Chain A
Amino acid sequence: MSFWADPYRFLLEWLRSLLMGLGLPADWAQVVLFIVGAFALGTSALLLVIFLIWLERKIVGRIQDRLGPNRVGPWGIFQTIADIGKIFTKEFITPNGVDWFLYNLAPVLSVGAVLMLWAVIPLTMTLYGVNLNVAVLYIIAVGELGEMAVILAGWGSNNKYAVLAAFRAVAQLISYEVPLIVTLLVPVMFAGSMGLNDVVQAQSIWFVFLMPVVALIFFIVSIAEIGRAPFDLVEAESELVSGFNIEYSGLKFGFFYVADFLHAFTIALLFATLFLGGWRGPGVVQYPLLGFLYLMVKTSIVYFVVILLRASLPRFRIDQMMNLNWKLLTPLAMIMLILTALLDKLLPASMPAIRVAGMLAMNFIVLLALNQILKLVESRNPRPVVASVVRPVARPPQIQSVQNETGTSS
């Protein structure tokens, strides 16, 4: 096996033989390899964040008609590294009255919960942390660890704004877990396995073409699950003075910040894996490393949409967010689960074209029906106008006269 065909396996075998040559028993060598692999995966994910933060600031800056970071390095690309240098030199401040252990555990847990997701995502056909056969359940379980981190941060800070934000966060995260689990069931049903590598291998037709509505629900719900705009009530800066992480500063705040950015990229990665065919693409069987490139391209597109949504949508109110979840997304996800399962049994699996056409038609009909129902509901309960009446604005007299003149002349 040459190096360039599959460098990961090559390095793995080389390291294993090196360790065995040092006189280590086989199972201890395996443990060392696991540890090295975990460090490598975690570190590269965290290094990726440096780039992601710069990218997001740059894109959001462009959307808001600003330049974004542009001082340090070409296109400001080293801005984040300068920020890291600054954050490392900051003082560790522990406010009075905090629960010391929980206060310090929460940031670590929040980054850890995101990094644990990377363990099961297949980056190429052969490169993955572990091919867990219950990876989908694992994803949900690890997500709950992230919720624990938010609770601990809120409660451990001994601050009532932080606790309020933590309550909100938990209400949001637990509620949105319901449609998340239901939508995750659909790809699992099609792949016949809960392992993510099997899900990717089953996508000879990308799942997004078989179940676009489910993919859309998953996309919305996963954005809500990571607490990003427009669902960022967890850290609603304007209302909760930055929310559950209000008492954190310096590196500890940096942990939450890193977790937030990495989480956004990770859900894009998950979406690409579950619905966009993961590492699949031409030529991956000969050169598995190409799969990594394909996966990153797909992930980047999804990630760009996530950033775009964040930059363009205003924040939901908490009741709107709960309504969206319980009255729209959860029932829709359940209906889609049942309909997809039924239709999949009816359509012949041997004819992929008919299968895709049938599934797309069903999804389209569901969307049309949903649109009609929403229109009906809206006409029954018209939305109350909350804005006040438009009042005349006081203007200096000379401007008013100029306006009158132009008004008459034109």
Chain B
Amino acid sequence: MNKFLKIIFFAIFIKPLVFLGLGLNIRGRNNLPLKGPAIIAATHNSHLDTMVLMSMYPLSTISRVRPVAAADYFLANRFIAWLSLNIIGIIPLDRSGKTKGADLFKDCHKALDDGHILLIFPEGSRGKPEEMSRLKKGVYYLIKDREDTRVTPVVLHGLGKALPRGEALFVPFNCDVIIDEALDECNSSTDLLDKISASYNNLFQYCITKNSNLE
């Protein structure tokens, strides 16, 4: 991965876009894990989610923040693949089911061993704008044998308005980034998913761009 290009790309393009074009209402900033190995489990409604989470990190740390992303989507086109692998620094994940067992998470484990911070979207895909989808169990199988890695739940809201799935027009909106404390150890996949979704439900109440209760 090209560390230098990544820093330049975030400094002149992504960070200004996120902080001026969007604008973040951040809560719980101190909970953001600055050192790896760590996992951030965030809600997912837009491609901007990854950019926002990565922009929260100082440029010196940005190359150690690695989004885990679907190989079938991000490696499908040559240009996107080059950008995703070399500039964003994604860890591709095979969703087809062909890769089995230990091989599936090999790259994730290697990154965690190197002290990287993994961004994972347990909903799996972006889904409908500003709506939650069912959580997937993958995160649990990734961390169950790792004692050094904890999961930090993060709720993002408002990005589905700025750039929803399938839209090309970017429209500026402020968005909420609410970060919870890292979760305690979990003994089963359902336990972990219950804890993550309980945390999400709790965090959503701090979103100031969310008014579904009034609509």
> A and B, one complex?
no
Which residues of A pack against B, CB within 8 Å? none
